[in-house]
Amino acid sequence: MAHIILVRHGETEANRLGIYQGKITDPFLNLTGNRQADAASEALKDFQIEKIYSSTSMRAIETAENINNYHEKSIFATDELLEIDHGLFDGKTLEQIKIEYPEILEVWWNHPEKVKFPKGETLKGAHRRVTQFINDVITGITREIRSVNDNSDVLIVSHGGAITLMLMSILEIPLRNFRKFPRISNTGVTLIKVTEKGPSIIAVNNTCHWNCRTNNLRQLIKPKKTEQ
């Protein structure tokens, strides 16, 4: 058994101000975001993380670097984990988008499976991109479990929309239900258990490292490294 740990990046000023950030807008973490990433690092220190993948966005790489403090592994950055490319929505607030692109916004809200962001990508395109990545990771883990009984964990640091699409793919949820899926918070941790039989999701958007008194992720995983 192994785990895939999906983590959304920490907060940025764009998050705080309600500004769309996708492929183009790429701010660094703000003070809150750095504290969230530090808390996530502490919460995940007992996992046997052997591989770390990150979006090429700086906010994701910064978060991955913080979590990596306890693991000291190489971080593999890939465009496949980038956020949905919002095109001309990028860098704008919702109020600005309501004025400039009301028809596209209506499609995005009510028929997300049909949206094509101006000079960006479709939700279907983003779904294909992240589905291929997560499927490859799951296939690699199950192959290693079957061949060498490897129980090492994989950390993936990405974005709210991208993580949502990965989970919808695993659960075979149609894209028309994108808006019904729980929102992924900054540094929200989603835990996927992988066995020879495949993946099962055991926690979605856990933020107890940031807003609870106890780290309940420890109740969901195998014994600490020091206990094995």
Please, what are the domains in the chain?
2-85+122-222 (3.40.50.1240)
Q: How many CB atoms are located within 10 Å of the residue 112 CB?
A: 19
**Within the chain, what is the greatest distance between any pair of CA atoms?**
58
Q: How far apart are the first and last CA of the chain?
A: 14
Is 16 annotated as ligand-binding?
A: no
Neighbours of 65 (CB within 10 A): 15
Catalytic residue numbers, as ranges: 9, 83
The answer to whether 70 and 11 have CB atoms below 8 angstroms apart is no
Residue 25 has pLDDT above 90, yes or no: no
Question: Does 15 carry a binding-site annotation?
Answer: yes
Give mean pLDDT, residues 172-188.
Answer: 96
How does pLDDT run across 196-222, given as a tens digit for each residue?
A: 889 999 999 999 888 776 566 666 655
| Residue 12 counted as an annotated binding residue | yes
pLDDT of residue 24: 81
14 labeled part of a ligand binding site? yes
Distances (CA, A) of 183 to 35, 130, 175: 20, 17, 15
For residue 201, what are the β-bridge partners? 192
* Strand-strand pairing, 153-158 and 49-55: parallel
Per-residue buried b or exposed e for 37-58, using 16+ beta carbons within 10 Å of the residue's own CB:
bbbbbebbbbbbbebbbbbebb
Query: Which structure tokens are listed for 39?
Result: 């808390």
Phi, psi of 136 (to 5 degrees): -65, -40
Q: What is the pLDDT of residue 217?
A: 66
DSSP state for residue 178 in the 8-state scheme: G
pLDDT bracket for residue 145 (50, 70, 90): confident
Please report the pLDDT score of residue 91 as a whole number.
94
| 59 annotated among ligand-binding-site residues | yes
Strand partners, 222: none
Average of per-residue pLDDT across 180-184: 93
pLDDT greater at residue 25 or residue 131: 131
Q: Is 227 annotated as a binding residue?
A: no
Query: How many percent of the chain have pLDDT more than 90?
Result: 82
